[in-house]
Amino acid sequence: MDKKEILQAIEKNQTIENVDISGIDLSGTDLTGGRFENVCFKGANLRGVKIRKTGFRNCDFQGAILDEVDFTQVDLRKMNFQNASLKQIKFHMTLLQDTDMRGANCSGSIFSWLPMQRVKLDRANLSNIKFEKVIMGKASLKGADFSGSRLTKVTFNGANLKGAIFKGVSFLKILFRECDLENQDFRNINFQQVNADSSNLQGAIFSGANITMSNFQNANLKKAIFDKAVGEHVMFMSADLRKAQMQSSCIPKSYFGQAKLSEADFSKADLTNCVFEGADCKLTVFKEARCQYADFSYADLRGADFTKANLVLARMHLTVEENTKWEGALKTPIRGVDKEQAEAEKWEPNI
């Protein structure tokens, strides 16, 4: 079937089905209103084609060139785009669930208002893309390259991101819940309002990153690096930050309640108004840290090092202290045990 026959079929409102047109050149062609079913477009040149109100079903676009195509509101579910060229295309309100886009080049494109659950994007080039309101739950993104992309309101819950590249990416209001992001490099990027609850971020690098209002509750952050990271109101509740490096970070008003912080290093960090209630701070280093108004109530501070730390008006209600180092620390005034509160906490009703 050639180009002329395809256009004639569209004009006659006929469905084009069960044909192999691999390698065909339809670049710039107006395919508006066409219907394609079980059509093989392997290696075809479809650059800049117009497909408004065009329908595709069970089609194969493997290795095809589809650059600069507007796929707005097109149904592409379960189709094959392996190794296809999709540069500078527009996916808006497009249906992409279960689509196979492994190895595809989507650089410079727009992905907006998309359901992409279970999509396969392993090794895909997703660089310099604008992602907005995209759902990628349970997607496979192994080795995908997001370099330089801007992601806003994107859901990755349960996605496989092993080996994905996020160099120079901007994140805003992202859901990374229960994702494997071990050893990922997020240094110097915008990581604001990201929900990484229960994710594996062991060894991840956040050096110089803006983590304002992000949520790391229950996350595995062992040996993670946050040196010079900035951001207020960061949630680290019950997170595992053992041996994490937080030197010179500026994260005031953040919450570390019940977190595992043993052997973490907060040297010269700004922890003003932070809450460490019930945290495990054994052998944690707070050298020269700014801990004004911080709340260490019920925290285990055995072996912790507060050398030259500023603890003005810090709260130390019922903390556990043994071999804790206070040399040169500014502790006057400090809020110690609240006797009335302690008595109330010990009270038990007579039964």
CA distance 306 to 289: 8
Domain that holds residue 34: 1-65
Query: 245 in a domain, yes or no?
Result: no
CA distance 346 to 12: 85
Query: 197 in a domain, yes or no?
Result: no
Query: 23 in a domain, yes or no?
Result: yes
pTM of the model: 0.88
Per-position b or e across 193-205, b if 16+ CB within 10 A of its CB: bbbbbbbbbbbbb
Residue 10 has a pLDDT of 95
Query: 28 in a domain, yes or no?
Result: yes
- In a 3-state reduction of DSSP, which class is residue 171? strand
Q: How many domains does the chain have?
A: 1
The tens-digit pLDDT sequence of the chain (351 residues) is: 999 999 999 999 999 999 999 999 999 999 999 999 999 999 999 999 999 889 999 999 999 999 999 999 999 999 999 999 999 999 999 999 999 999 999 999 999 999 999 999 999 999 999 999 999 999 999 999 999 999 999 999 999 999 999 999 999 999 999 899 999 999 999 999 999 999 999 999 999 999 999 999 999 999 999 999 999 999 999 999 999 999 999 999 999 999 999 999 999 999 999 999 999 999 999 999 999 999 999 999 999 999 999 999 999 998 999 999 999 999 876 766 666 676 666 667 777
Query: 49 in a domain, yes or no?
Result: yes
Nearest in space to 205 (alpha carbons), one of 230, 226, 233: 226
CA distance 40 to 191: 41
Cis amide leading into 333 (omega within 30): yes
Domain CATH for 51: 2.160.20.80
Residue 8 has a pLDDT of 96
Nearest in space to 211 (alpha carbons), one of 220, 198, 222, 225: 225
Instruction: Give CA separation, 291 vs 85, 214, 234, 288, 309, in Å.
Output: 53, 21, 16, 9, 7
Query: 166 in a domain, yes or no?
Result: no
Residue 331 has a pLDDT of 84
Query: 26 in a domain, yes or no?
Result: yes
Residue 190 has a pLDDT of 97
3-state helix, strand, coil in the chain (%, to 5): 5, 25, 70
Residue 343 has a pLDDT of 63
Query: 57 in a domain, yes or no?
Result: yes
